[in-house]
Amino acid sequence: MAPREARFPAAGEQPARHEKELTAAALSVAAPAIPPLTIRGEADTLNTVDRARLAQFGGEALVLPDAGHPPHIESARAANERLVAFLRPLGAGRSPFKETS
């Protein structure tokens, strides 16, 4: 029997009912070649911040206090600054955008 594919809850389903699938998904990305950076909004009411769940993904987590869903739009400057700083040591090279101080 083939293993069941992990899936996230469909709209309206309770995430707790899919704990095994969520844990499997978290573990599948926990050790990639490039470490993950998870950016979340503290005020996100669609996907509330669960720091224990974020820790399962490994890498780094940035929780933006003044952002909801999606944080990369609501707090674009903070999200982009952290993303650039995160990628720079990974050899991502120079940004194609003019850096301002």
Per-residue pLDDT of the chain (101 residues; tens, 9 = 90+): 455 555 555 666 665 666 777 777 777 665 566 678 889 999 998 888 888 888 877 788 999 998 999 999 999 999 999 999 988 887 755 555 555 55
Residue 1: predicted pLDDT = 44
Domain ranges for the chain: 36-93
Which stretch of DSSP H or E encloses residue 60? strand 60-64
In angstroms, how far is the first alpha carbon of the chain from the final one?
57
Residues in the chain: 101
pTM: 0.56
Residue 32 to residue 5: CA distance in whole angstroms? 19
**Cα angle 62, 38, 35; round to 5:** 115
